[in-house]
Every structure is written in structure tokens, then in C-alpha cells.
């Protein structure tokens, strides 16, 4: 059996010694980029690798032509596959990703694995907190990867759109754009990360934390289906974005759990959009 959306801490604990499973810690703090690694060193799920959002899950913020691509643009696809091989990931490896933020950062790696065509990838539901709540062990040892993985290039399972596509959609109005940021940032209030406050004209708002219950686990597929069907009519005509293409992946995971496949990611998101003063702001 493979897991392609969520996995429980109890189930993961039964597979820690399975050589075909790889666990990756994605903890991060946007205000303190070193915090995730520090937390990892202080204790993580045994045998878990560490993925740094800025270095492993994002590429250069400025393109060769000097264009700003957003705060967390996608890395070069070949470079990302090389990183996955360094973590020991093969074609059929079951990958489990987690953080301590309700899946806020782990969902980004989940989406990126689908981006390179890897289906058996799941987010630990409830994150590290769910693991610790069961009294399961943690380790301070960094695993030594004896053999590099052999994951190869596959067709993407995760559609994406460019800033040009989003700009064109302002006129065509074919795609439904959903912003995953908090309601206040969506309204242009309390903006402390990007230089401009506001949102892309025509976008709707679905705060990624609304996908979770009070204990930090995802809502049921039935509840997510009901809530998301009230927001979008056709997932294949929907685009998810946020500040920099990270928490938008949380909404994409929620859609997948709900059985609503086919929505696209705008990787550059608001950070790329607002970098050009010619683009309109709402």
C-alpha cells in the first residue's frame, strides 16, 4: 500500500525501519531561516533527512535576465532530482514529509514530488506534534545515506502557471485564482514580508489554516469537499497562490484529499506579481 496525501503518525511508526521509506523534516521559520535546522538538530523523527526551504525547495530568486521570480521560485528540475537522490529516494520510495506547522512547509515538498512525477508521497497528518503525542521516539543523529537514490525524470503530476498566464487571465477570466494567505494580508493589511500589500485583482481568499482542525490535522475529505466546492466550480480551471508559492501547496493538498484534482500552482505568487509596478493590485 502506498500513501499519496496523508499518513498518520501511528502508521509511519510501523514503517520506520522499512528500507523503501524515506522521511523528510521540513520545519522552517520565514523570519529565521536557520530555525528549522536548529530544531532538527535538537530532535527529529529517527532517520529523517532535513530539507531547507530556501536551499532545497527553492531556486534562484532572480532569473538570468534580472527578472525577480518571487521569494521561493521552483528550483531547476534536474537540481531538485539530484537532491532527492542524495536523500536516497528511488522510483518507488514511499516518501513521508512533516513539519511542526500544520503542514505549511511539508506540503510544498509534497507538491514538488508530484511536480517530478513521484506519486508515493504523503504529509504526516498533525506533524511532529502528532508523533510526540503518541510518545514516539526522536533522534538527534543525522542519518548517513549509504547509497544514493535513483529517482529519474517523469512526467509532472502537478500543473503550474506563469505570471504571464495570470496576467492574461485578468482579461480572459477563465481561471479561478485562490490566495492562501491570511485574510488580513489578502486585504493588504499587516504586510511585513512583501514590499507591497494587497492581492491580485479577481482572486478569492482561502486561508490555508482553514483546511485544518483545532489540533492541526486536516479536516475530513468530506468536509474539505463541501468547503472547497463552495469556492471553486472546476478544479482544473483553478489556480492556487499565496505569498511565495509555499502555503498555496497546502490548499492543493487539501483539494487532493477532497478528491478535487487538477488545480495549478502559481509558483511566483504575490511576491513575484507585486515586484512589477505595472501589474495591477487590489
252 and 192 in a common domain: yes
Final residue before a domain boundary, out of 133, 154, 175: 133
pLDDT given at position 86: 97
Question: What is the mean pLDDT, run by run of 10 residues, along the chain of 282 residues?
Answer: 97 96 97 97 98 97 93 97 98 98 98 98 98 98 93 96 96 94 97 95 98 97 98 97 98 98 98 97 96
Residue 178, helix vs strand vs coil: strand
pLDDT given at position 272: 98
253 and 177 in a common domain: yes
Final residue before a domain boundary, out of 111, 133, 155: 133
Q: Cite the DSSP H helix spans in the chain.
A: 9-13, 35-42, 53-56, 77-86, 106-115, 127-133, 163-172, 183-186, 221-229, 248-257, 269-273
User: Does the residue 180 lie in any domain?
Assistant: yes
- Give the range of the structural domain holding residue 192, as residue numbers without chain letter: 163-273
pLDDT given at position 158: 97
214 and 260 in a common domain: yes
Q: Is 242 a catalytic residue?
A: yes
User: Does the residue 139 lie in any domain?
Assistant: no
212 and 113 in a common domain: no
User: Does the residue 225 lie in any domain?
Assistant: yes
220 and 263 in a common domain: yes
Contact in structure between 116 and 80 (CB atoms under 8 Å): yes
pLDDT given at position 173: 86
User: Does the residue 90 lie in any domain?
Assistant: yes
53: CB partners within 8 A, 6+ apart: 26, 28, 33, 36, 72, 105, 108, 246
Closest CA to 110 of 124, 92, 89: 124
pLDDT given at position 279: 97
178 and 92 in a common domain: no
User: Does the residue 59 lie in any domain?
Assistant: yes
Domain count, the chain: 2
- Residues 123 and 40: their CA atoms lie apart, in Å, by 17
pLDDT given at position 166: 97
User: Does the residue 23 lie in any domain?
Assistant: yes
User: Does the residue 254 lie in any domain?
Assistant: yes
Look up residue 173 and give its three cell numbers.
477570466
User: Does the residue 156 lie in any domain?
Assistant: no
Q: Are strands 238-241 and 204-205 parallel, antiparallel or unpaired?
A: unpaired
Exposed / middle / buried, residue 24 (Cβ in 10 Å: 0-12, 13-18, 19+): buried
184 and 110 in a common domain: no
28 and 119 in a common domain: yes
Report the chain's C-alpha Rg in angstroms: 18
171 and 267 in a common domain: yes
118 and 183 in a common domain: no
240 and 201 in a common domain: yes
The residue from 26, 242, 249, 274 that is catalytic is: 242
268 and 181 in a common domain: yes
- Residues 192 and 207: their CA atoms lie apart, in Å, by 17
Assign residue 51 the CATH number of its domain. 3.40.250.10
Amino acid at each position: 500500500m502506498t500513501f499519496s496525501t496523508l499518513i498518520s503518525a501511528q502508521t509511519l511508526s510501523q514503517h520506520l525501519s522499512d528500507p523503501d521509506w524515506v522521511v523528510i523534516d521540513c520545519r522552517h521559520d520565514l523570519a529565521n531561516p536557520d530555525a528549522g535546522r536548529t530544531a532538527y538538530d535538537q530532535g527529529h523523527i529517527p532517520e529523517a533527512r532535513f530539507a531547507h526551504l530556501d536551499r532545497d525547495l527553492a531556486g534562484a530568486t532572480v532569473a538570468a535576465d534580472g527578472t525577480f521570480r518571487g521569494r521561493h521560485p521552483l528550483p531547476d528540475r534536474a537540481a531538485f532530482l539530484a537532491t532527492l537522490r542524495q536523500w536516497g529516494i528511488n522510483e518507488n520510495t514511499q516518501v513521508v514529509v512533516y513539519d511542526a506547522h500544520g503542514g505549511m512547509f511539508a506540503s510544498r515538498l509534497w507538491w514538488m514530488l508530484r511536480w517530478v512525477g513521484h506519486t508515493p508521497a504523503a504529509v504526516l497528518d498533525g506533524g511532529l506534534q502528532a508523533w510526540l503525542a503518541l510518545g514516539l521516539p526522536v533522534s538527534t543523529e543525522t542519518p548517513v545515506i549509504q547509497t544514493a537514490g535513483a529517482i529519474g525524470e517523469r512526467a509532472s503530476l502537478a500543473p503550474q502557471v506563469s505570471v504571464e498566464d495570470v496576467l492574461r487571465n485578468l482579461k480572459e477570466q477563465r481561471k479561478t485564482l485562490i490566495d492562501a494567505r491570511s485574510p488580513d494580508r489578502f486585504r493588504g493589511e499587516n504586510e511585513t514580508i512583501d514590499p507591497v500589500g494587497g492581492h491580485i485583482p479577481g482572486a478569492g481568499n482561502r486561508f490555508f489554516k482553514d483546511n485544518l482542525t483545532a489540533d492541526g490535522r486536516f479536516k475530513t475529505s468530506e468536509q474539505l469537499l463541501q468547503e472547497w466546492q463552495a469556492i471553486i466550480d472546476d478544479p482544473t480551471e483553478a489556480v492556487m497562490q499565496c505569498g511565495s508559492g509555499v502555503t498555496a501547496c497546502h490548499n492543493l493538498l487539501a483539494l487532493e484529499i477532497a478528491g478535487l484534482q487538477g488545480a495549478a500552482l502559481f509558483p511566483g505568487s504575490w511576491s513575484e506579481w507585486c515586484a512589477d509596478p505595472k501589474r495591477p493590485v487590489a
